[in-house]
Amino acid sequence: MHIRLYRPEDREVLKDITTRTFGPFSIDGNIEKQFGLLNGTDWAWRKRRHIDADCDAQPDGILVAEEEGRVLGYITTRFDSATRLGWIPNMAVEPDCQGRGIGRQLIEAALALFRRRGMTHAKIETLAQNPVGQNLYPDCGFQEVARQVHYVMKL
């Protein structure tokens, strides 16, 4: 397995991995469970748009884990040069590849990328319902600084 930079032809694969991975750990999934489809769109359609936004905003900050031509996972990053804060908006690893340390390697590669780009701090977030993130991120050196509650209402 090796980690490489994103290529535009990876976009659909990253979105597919996202929909296979994020269901139980998605704010959009939680909204759908409580309210149903939003304007005919399911959580996966909305989450795939988040990956489009990452690819459009910072394509040079996306890292892809690949093995023998198969994309196993990815991590997206953003750089704020004014504050020197790097942000990891999305990360996912194929369900059948989880538990192999790929997520940790992607985080370590993203942190190295942040350092090369002059970032002094990095942030990542997860939902309380995501036990992997709750364990992995502190294991990688992240410290909890806040908890956020999301509210939704039908109009």
CATH of the domain at 56: 3.40.630.30
Tell me what the mean pLDDT of segment 11-21 comes to. 96
Mind listing the pLDDT tens digit for each residue in 35-47? 999 999 999 999 9
> How many residues would you count in the chain?
155
Is 22 inside a domain boundary?
Answer: yes
Mean pLDDT, the chain, integer: 95
User: 5: part of which helix (H) or strand (E)?
Assistant: strand 2-5
Decide if pLDDT at 24 tops 80.
no
Nearby residues of 45 by Cβ (< 8 Å), 6 or more positions away: none
Flag whether 97 is in a domain: yes
pLDDT digits (tens, 9 = 90+) for 113-129: 999 999 999 999 999 88
For residue range 60-112, what is the model confidence (pLDDT) as tens digits?
999 999 999 999 999 999 999 999 999 999 999 999 999 999 999 999 999 99
Asked if the structure places residue 149 within a domain, the reply is: no
Within a domain: 21: yes
Cα separations in angstroms, 69 against 64, 73, 137 = 11, 12, 28
146 part of a folded domain: no
Q: Does residue 154 belong to any structural domain of this protein?
A: no
In whole angstroms, how large is the CA radius of gyration of the chain?
16
**Sign of the dihedral through C-alpha 13, 15, 16, 17:** positive
Strand partners, 73: 65, 93
Where does the pLDDT of residue 22 fall: very low under 50, low under 70, confident under 90, or very high at 90 and above?
Answer: confident
pLDDT at res. 25:
82
Burial of residue 23, with CB atoms counted within 10 A of its CB: 0-12 exposed, 13-18 middle, 19 or more buried:
middle
**pLDDT score of 4:** 98
Please state the domain count of the chain.
Answer: 1
In a domain, 150, yes or no: no
Domain containing residue 80: 2-139
